[in-house]
Each structure stands twice: as C-alpha cells, then as structure tokens.
Amino acid sequence: MSFFREAESWVLVAFLLFIALLVYLKVPAMAAKMLDERSARIAKELDEARKLREEAEALLAAYEKKRAEAEKLAADIVAQARADAVDYGIESRRKMGDMLDRLTKHAEQQIAQAEAAAVKEVRNAVIDVAVAAAETLTADAVKGAKGAALVDQSIAAVKSRLN
C-alpha cells in the first residue's frame, strides 16, 4: 500500500472526493442552469436590440420620406414663385407698354391741339394783317362813298373766306 503513502495520491483522492461532492450537490446542473439563464437573457436582449433596430430603421425611412416630400414641396414652391415672377414681369411690361402708348397718344393729341391752335393764331394774324393792308390799299385807291362801300364789302368777303 504504498499508494497511500504518497502525497500525490492523497491529492488525487481529495480531488475525486471534491468532484463527487460537486456532482452530489448538483453544481454542474446549477452552472448549466446559470449558463442557460444567462444565454436566455442575452438572447432576449438581442431580440430587443433587433426590434429597436427595426423600429429605428422604420423611423429613419419615415423621416427620409418626409424630408424628400418637404424638399419636393420646397422645389415646387420655388418653381411656382419663379413662374409667378416671370408672369408678373411679362404683365408689368405689358402694362408699362400700354401706359406708354396712352401717354404717347395723349402727348400726340396735345401736340396736335397746340399745332391747330398755333395755325389758327397764325391764320387769324395773317387775316388781320391782310385785312389791314387791304383796307389801307383800298382806302387809298378808292376814295369817296363808292370806295367806302366797296372796301366794306371786300373786307367782309375776305373775312368769311379765311375763317
């Protein structure tokens, strides 16, 4: 029995007894149960993280869609504003042209009226000068009653023809 005299043998016996005690107390089952619980908890956390990721991706997609819609709306607003500005410019030019046409016609009418008034004044001045000259010439050429009647008749005829 030299086996029991060696210290290593007692270490082996103690180790085997320790292992037997662990098996008797169901330590491996408890360790497996702890590992299984931990594995289940980790799996649950992974599922929860996967769900959160899917929700985040859905939110991201929704926000990207809203952003795209907002950008499209902004582009439509800008395009409409540009079109309105072009239309307003065209309308303003047309109104400006119409106003210039009216002002030009009004100015032409005033010029025509001024020309007519000037022509009338010149004509009246010429008539007055012609009548005065005719009076003077006729008075000198024809003297007496017959001459006076002839002068009055001529003056009346000239005035009626020139006016």
Longest dimension (CA), the chain: 199
- As a whole number of angstroms, the distance between CA 24 and CA 18 comes to 10
How far is Cα of residue 112 from the mean position of the Cα atoms in its chain?
Answer: 47
- As a whole number of angstroms, the distance between CA 23 and CA 31 comes to 11
Q: pLDDT (tens digit, 0 to 9) for every residue of the chain, 163 residues total?
A: 677 788 888 888 899 998 888 888 888 888 889 999 999 999 999 999 999 999 999 999 999 999 999 999 999 999 999 999 999 999 999 999 999 999 999 999 999 999 999 998 888 888 888 888 877 776 666 666 666 677 678 778 877 777 6
Tokens in use for 66?
A: 């809203």
pLDDT at residue 146 in the model: 67
In which domain, by residue range, is 107 found? Answer: 2-162
- As a whole number of angstroms, the distance between CA 73 and CA 80 comes to 10
Structural domains counted in the chain:
1
pLDDT at residue 124 in the model: 86
pLDDT at residue 8 in the model: 86
Task: Indicate the pTM of the whole model.
Answer: 0.42
